[in-house]
Every structure is written in C-alpha cells, then in structure tokens.
C-alpha cells in the first residue's frame, strides 16, 4: 500500500513539474541560447523544486503515528495510529441519553485534538471503554437560619478501561474518575444543565487523557 502511494505521488508530482516546465517563462530564454551555466542553474532549481514537491506529497500520504509510554512513562513504548472510543452508557438514575452522547463525544474530541491518532469505530490500536457510573445533584453550604442550601453541587463519576493492541495489554482497568461543579441553588437546574455538563466533561476528559498517556496507574 505504501509503495503504491509513493509511486502515485511521484508520478503525479512529475506530471505537475512537466506542466510547470512547459509553461515556465524561463524556457524561451533558455531556448534562445542562454549560457550553459545559466541553464544548469535553472535545471538545478527545477530538480530542487521537484524534490520538495515529492516530499510534500509523501508527507501528506503517510499515516501519522503517535508514540507514548503509558503508566507514568515506566511502561513499554507503544506506537499507535488509531484510537477507538466506545459509547459510554449512563448507569445513573438521572441524566438521560444526552449525558452519554455528550461525554462520549467530548472524549473523542480530545483524543483528536491532542494527538495525531485517527478516530475509528472498531479495531483501534488504542481502545477506550467505560460507563458513567454516577450523576448526582446534592445541596451544599446549608444556611443555618433557613436550613436551605445556598449552592448545589453536580457531581459525575465515570469508570474507564483501556486496551493497547500493539502489545496486547490492558492499561486502565475500570479506573474511577470524578468531577464536580457548584452552582447557585436559586437557579433553575434544567436551564443550566447543559452548560454544567460541558464543564464536567472538560474536567473529566482532560483527567482521563492525562492518565492514559502520562499518568501512573
């Protein structure tokens, strides 16, 4: 496959160079009898340009590779090109389907934004699975006089497992992650829930990313 890509890249590049030479404004001067050293300079520039274009073609055709040492840098180096993030089911009693979709998408986004890995649906070099285990609103900062809460806390827990195909090993194994965000108890929860979930997703996915690719297990 790589040889086919390289061969076609070279062929396309040579065709582009041929068109460039045909239309180049330098050629009428060369044909009319420029000194030999000037012709050599022009030819050298054309060869250099051709090599640059070939390098660019090959660079675009090559699949990116991402290398890292899991387990806080103490594990065996792993080379990967793809990552698979499975759907995180919501096992809590509240939150609904949107919570699963929102968190899963956020985790996929950070994998693409902070690595060179290609996201795939199956058979990824790195496979990430898990569930949302808890999603709960609880009162905090209880006021003594009114016995009501000045603030509420939204907390979310997830468990995450990872599998590395390169060395057939398990990284995280149902590892727990949690995050919370506080908000004014007087505010309507349903009107701000989406914003609060975005904050939770940001905290959780960054923690998970750091743990997978740099943290100790």
Q: Which CATH class is domain 66-213?
A: alpha beta
In this prediction the pTM is 0.67
pLDDT of residue 215: 61
Residue 69 · residue 78 · CB < 8 Å? yes
Q: What local confidence, expressed as pLDDT, does residue 141 receive?
A: 75
Question: How is the chain split into domains, by residue range?
Answer: 2-61, 66-213
Alpha-carbon torsion, ordered 97, 135, 103, 78, to 10 deg: -130
Distance from C-alpha of 162 to C-alpha of 138, rounded to nearest angstrom: 31
Distances (CA, A) of 130 to 71, 100, 113, 133, 174: 19, 11, 20, 9, 7
Taking CA 89 as the corner, what is the angle to CA 88 and CA 94, rounded to the nearest 5 degrees?
A: 125
Task: Extract the residue ranges of the chain whose pLDDT is less than 70.
Answer: 1-46, 48-65, 71-75, 143-148, 215-217
Helices 189-213 and 96-113, packing angle to 10 deg: 40
Q: Give the residue among 151, 135, 155 at the shortest CA–CA distance from 143.
A: 151
């Amino acid at each position: 496959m790589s040889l086919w890509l390289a061969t076609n890249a070279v062929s396309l590049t040579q065709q582009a160079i041929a068109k460039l030479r045909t239309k180049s404004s330098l050629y009428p001067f060369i044909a009319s009898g420029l000194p030999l050293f000037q012709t050599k300079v022009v030819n050298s520039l054309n060869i250099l340009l051709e090599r640059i274009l070939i390098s660019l073609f090959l660079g675009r055709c090559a699949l990116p590779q991402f290398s890292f040492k899991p387990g806080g840098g103490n594990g065996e180096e792993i080379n990967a090109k793809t990552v698979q993030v499975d759907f995180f089911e919501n096992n809590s009693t509240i939150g609904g389907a949107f919570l699963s979709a929102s968190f899963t998408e956020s985790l996929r986004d950070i994998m693409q934004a902070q690595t060179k890995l290609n996201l795939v649906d199956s058979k990824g070099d790195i496979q990430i699975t898990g569930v949302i285990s808890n999603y709960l609103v609880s009162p905090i900062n209880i006021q003594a006089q009114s016995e009501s809460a000045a603030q509420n806390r939204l907390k979310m827990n997830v468990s995450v497992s990872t599998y590395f195909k390169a060395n057939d090993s398990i990284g995280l194994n149902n590892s727990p992650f949690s995050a919370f965000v506080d908000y004014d108890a007087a505010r309507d929860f349903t009107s701000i829930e989406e914003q609060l979930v975005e904050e939770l997703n940001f905290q959780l996915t960054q923690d998970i990313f750091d743990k997978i690719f740099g943290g100790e297990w």
